[in-house]
Chain A
Amino acid sequence: MKSLASWFHRRGWRDLIIGIPYLWLIVFFLIPFLIVVAMSLATRTPTAPPFGYGGANPILNFEGYARLFTETLYIRAFITSLMNAAVATVICLIIGYPMALGLTRVSKSWRNILLMLVILPFWTSFLLRVYAWMGMMGRNSWFNGLLTDIWNLLTPQSYALTSIPMMNSNFAVVLVMVYCYLPFMILPLYANLERLDPVLDEAAMDLGSRPFQVFRDVTLPQSIPGIIAGAMLVFIPAAGELVIPALVGNPSSPMIGRIISDEFAQVRDWPMASTVAVALLILMVGPTMLYSRYQQKAEGRAEERP
């Protein structure tokens, strides 16, 4: 018993602290993930569980990956996902940037309240935020009615509508994505902009720059790490989104998350579902690398400071 205690004091505590989370992540993250990768190279069989290796096909079956590039279902789903995510990211940036910049300009007490208001929707349910827009966009809702009235006022009689068909469209998907992910854009941008030195702005002003020029030449270049961080935090979850398109999206142009879950649960083609999943991850690798490179740079800079 005593030797156990001394082992623990010498190095055991360290090994335990490293070992326990390490083991947990290997069992519940790494192994399941490797199984998916292996599954993507298996062959679908009518057994339970519905996959196997070998048989009529060679041991590793790359047919799934070939199907990704030949079947329009998958190509269209990838294009729809990337487009929706990209448009949502750009809109989040256009709205989020001035909001983050505005947050750095208001007084300290206002700033805390407004920051809390940005974060508050986060702590409520994601599902209910999507649901709130289902109520807003429906055919008979006051919001739809308001937009319809504005539309009818602005356009000639022949274009008059009784309601605007917003639900079940890519427009609705992008709108709700912007709504749900806007805080992810604002917060890293705010963290970045808040650290900038206002002296630089004032110097540029004193040297005769107009406010817009100051923004373009001084503020914007310094905030690129914040822009990249925010854009990644919006783009990555948006591209793999499952809930939003299921509730407000167009069922006839599914996004990639839906394809994965349908292949898995409805078609029961586990290998193909895994193939699509691996392909989605490969697409995510590029943006993630970009993001982590900028993060490391930012961290390195933070450590350099006294």
Chain B
Amino acid sequence: MTRRPVFLITVMCFGFAFFYIPILSMIIYSFNESRLVTVWGGFSTKWYVSLFSNRQVGAALWLSLQIALISASVATVLGAMAGITLARFRKFRGRTAFSGMVTAPLIMPEVITGISLLIFFTLLANWIGWPGQRGFTTITLAHITFSMVFVTTVVHSRMIQMDRSIEEAAMDLGSRPWQVLKDVTLPVISPALLSGWLLAFTISLDDVVITTFVMGPGSTTLPLLIWSKVKLGVTPDINALATLIVVIVGICVAIAGWLMSRAERRRLAEERLAYRANG
């Protein structure tokens, strides 16, 4: 195609401006001297100072990280099992129901997931006395449940693409199915496990709606803290917090992208070498 797609490039410029202008504006105003978030009163870093001296923010962040770490790890194990089940065990009783239960949470509005879990936990507490108080445990259980299906999707799609002949070769060489899974399949799908874990981690770290339902007194996660502040309006220290989050995430994504492209380049180079050696 010789013609430059001027129209498409124009729309893309507008699109990316649309994506990033609000974020840039938020970052710029986090350095605003004035308490009025919309009037520029000179450069200042005082909101960052007030943010770092805020005990609540630290405690909420710590709680969120703990929950995200535990729920992402459990969700990865459960989600991987479910993904392997869908990809490899073609026939077992209740397969249709199983694939339905794995897909349904993906499209269930968060309000409904939140309410159903809250009703469930309340009734359970009435019947068997557990969970006595909602908080860390109930939030973690809820996060595991709705993030495991994302891991399942990632693992499932990776396993569909995977070359099954290596598994068959291992079988022919006398490995038991369980050993094949452990020694062949799991290493091959490990990138999917990693990206599934990261996805589950971010989903947990970001969740507001479901957490508001299953939380209890004294279990304020970082999103809930931000939520309670943001509901009252725009405040400069939230701008500072947002800026930090955007910067940290941006650096992580850039590093991950760089590592991935380096690995890709190395793989291509090795393939070429192997090709030459054989040819």
Which positions in A face B, CB cutoff 8 Å? 8-9, 13-14, 17-18, 20-22, 24-26, 28-33, 35-36, 39, 49, 95-96, 98-99, 101-103, 105, 112, 114, 116-121, 123-136, 138-143, 179, 182, 198, 201-202, 211, 236-237, 239-240, 242-243, 246-247, 257, 260-261, 264, 270, 273-274, 277, 280-281, 284, 288, 292
Q: What residue in chain B is nearest A123 (Cβ atoms)? A: B249
Q: What residue in chain A is nearest B30 (Cβ atoms)? A: A135
A39 cross-chain contacts in B, Cβ below 8 A: 119
Is the CB–CB distance between A36 and B116 below 8 Å?
yes
Which applies to chain B's interface (DSSP): helix, strand, loop or mixed? helix
Q: What residue in chain B is nearest A240 (Cβ atoms)? A: B109
Any A CB within 8 A of the CB of B257: yes
Is the CB–CB distance between B242 and A123 below 8 Å?
no
Q: How far is the CA of A68 from the CA of B134 in the complex (A)?
A: 31
Any A CB within 8 A of the CB of B177: yes
Q: What residue in chain A is nearest B8 (Cβ atoms)? A: A102
* Beta-carbon contacts under 8 Å, B251-277 to A: 252-254, 257, 261
8 chain-A/chain-B pairs, Cβ below 8 angstroms: A18-B89, A98-B15, A101-B5, A102-B12, A135-B26, A138-B38, A261-B115, A264-B115
B128 cross-chain contacts in A, Cβ below 8 A: none
Q: How far is the CA of A250 from the CA of B258 in the complex (A)?
A: 43
Contact of B145 among A28, A105, A114, A123 (CB under 8 A): A28
Is the CB–CB distance between B38 and A135 below 8 Å?
yes
Any A CB within 8 A of the CB of B1: yes
Q: How close is A112's CB to chain B, nearest CB, in angstroms? A: 7
Q: Which of B45-53, B55-63, B166-174, B222-230 contacts A (4 or more CB under 8 A)?
A: B222-230
Q: How close is A150's CB to chain B, nearest CB, in angstroms? A: 15
Which applies to chain A's interface (DSSP): helix, strand, loop or mixed? helix
Which positions in B face A, CB cutoff 8 Å? 1, 3, 5, 7-9, 11-12, 14-16, 18-23, 25-26, 29, 36-39, 78-79, 81-82, 84-85, 89, 92, 94, 98, 101-105, 107-112, 114-120, 122-123, 126, 141-142, 144-145, 148, 152, 176-178, 181, 202, 205-206, 208-209, 223, 226-227, 230-231, 233-234, 238-239, 242, 245-246, 249-250, 252-254, 257, 261
Contact of B239 among A33, A135, A179 (CB under 8 A): A135
Q: What residue in chain A is nearest B182 (Cβ atoms)? A: A13
Contacts A17-B81, A243-B208 given: A281-B108 contact, CB under 8 Å? yes
Q: What residue in chain B is nearest A33 (Cβ atoms)? A: B116
A101 cross-chain contacts in B, Cβ below 8 A: 5, 8
Is the CB–CB distance between B115 and A273 below 8 Å?
yes
Is the CB–CB distance between B253 and A35 below 8 Å?
no
B209 cross-chain contacts in A, Cβ below 8 A: 242-243
Interface centre among B9, B81, B245 (most CB of A within 10 A): B81
Q: How close is A201's CB to chain B, nearest CB, in angstroms? A: 7
B29 cross-chain contacts in A, Cβ below 8 A: 135
Is the CB–CB distance between B101 and A25 below 8 Å?
yes
Is the CB–CB distance between A132 and B78 below 8 Å?
no
A98 cross-chain contacts in B, Cβ below 8 A: 7-8, 11-12, 15
Contact of B22 among A135, A198, A239 (CB under 8 A): A135
Q: How far is the CA of A243 from the CA of B213 in the complex (A)?
A: 13
B223 cross-chain contacts in A, Cβ below 8 A: 125, 127
Q: How close is A81's CB to chain B, nearest CB, in angstroms? A: 10
Is the CB–CB distance between B230 and A247 below 8 Å?
yes
Is the CB–CB distance between A114 and B112 below 8 Å?
no
Is the CB–CB distance between A277 and B112 below 8 Å?
yes
B3 cross-chain contacts in A, Cβ below 8 A: 211
Contact of A126 among B12, B85, B105, B208 (CB under 8 A): B208
Q: How far is the CA of A131 from the CA of B241 in the complex (A)?
A: 12
Is the CB–CB distance between B145 and A24 below 8 Å?
yes
Is the CB–CB distance between A22 and B94 below 8 Å?
yes
Interface centre among B15, B227, B245 (most CB of A within 10 A): B15
Is the CB–CB distance between B38 and A246 below 8 Å?
no
Is the CB–CB distance between A24 and B148 below 8 Å?
yes
Q: How close is B258's CB to chain A, nearest CB, in angstroms? A: 10
Is the CB–CB distance between A127 and B227 below 8 Å?
yes
Q: How close is B13's CB to chain A, nearest CB, in angstroms? A: 9
Is the CB–CB distance between A131 and B242 below 8 Å?
yes
Q: How far is the CA of A96 from the CA of B94 in the complex (A)?
A: 39
Is the CB–CB distance between A131 and B234 below 8 Å?
yes
Contacts A21-B81, A49-B126, A102-B8 given: A277-B230 contact, CB under 8 Å? no
Q: How far is the CA of A22 from the CA of B84 in the complex (A)?
A: 12
Contacts A32-B117, A39-B119, A127-B223 given: A284-B107 contact, CB under 8 Å? yes
